[in-house]
A = this chain, B = another copy of it.
Amino acid sequence: MQLQEDSLSTTFAALADPTRRAILARLTRGPATVTELAAPFAISGPAVSKHLRVLENARLIARGREAQWRPCHLEAAPLREVADWTAQYRRFWEKSFDRLDTYLKELQAKRREPVGKEKGHARARKQR
């Protein structure tokens, strides 16, 4: 089973960079030009343009037609695909948090035990 490049992989790869995620976060406040998007980052204009091409290729942003400014805006549809994919795993992370919760409750219960039981307590811990 050889799997090919797919839209979900392209989306995940585009999101695997904090600058690109910061650009998306900025665009939630409305469209912005390349200059506006570059302003908060200590990177060059061409570096920002490269990030924008990655986001555009992943259809996470789209750019206006105005030759001079070409403002970018957010296109959130691929993120819905990410949310749908991730939701399949919800029961697994909930399970792991439940286990942590049970463990912490056990720990609290043991702390409330009288001091005389301390030795048995230490032994129980060692057996884990």
Binding site for B on A (CB under 8 A): 1-6, 8-10, 12-13, 15-19, 21-22, 24-25, 28, 40-43, 74-77, 79-80, 82-83, 85-90, 92-93, 95-97
19 A-B residue pairings within 8 Å (CB atoms): A1-B22, A1-B40, A1-B41, A10-B16, A12-B15, A13-B16, A21-B85, A24-B89, A28-B88, A28-B89, A76-B89, A76-B92, A77-B97, A79-B86, A79-B93, A80-B93, A80-B97, A83-B86, A83-B93
Closest to A5 in B: B18
Given the interface pairs A1-B42, A13-B16, A41-B1, the reply to whether A77 lies near B96 with Cβ below 8 Å is yes
For A93, give its contact among B2, B25, B77 (CB under 8 Å). Answer: B77
Question: What's the minimum C-beta distance from A79 to chain B, rounded to whole angstroms?
Answer: 5
> Contact between B12 and A16 (Cβ–Cβ < 8 Å)?
yes
> Contact between A18 and B42 (Cβ–Cβ < 8 Å)?
no
A79 contacts across to B, CB distance below 8 A: 86, 89, 92-93
